[in-house]
Structure 1
Amino acid sequence: MQLKDKVSIITGGASGFGAAGALRFAQVGSAVVVADLNEELEWVGASRPAERRRLD
Structure 2
Amino acid sequence: MIGDNLVADIEGGRAAGLSTIHLAPSGAGRGLSVCRLSDIPSLIQSVSIEERCLS
Larger relative contact order (Cα-Cα within 8 Å, sequence gap ≥ 6): 1
TM-score tier by shorter-chain length is 0.3 to 0.5
TM-score, scaled to structure 2? 0.46
Larger Rg: 2
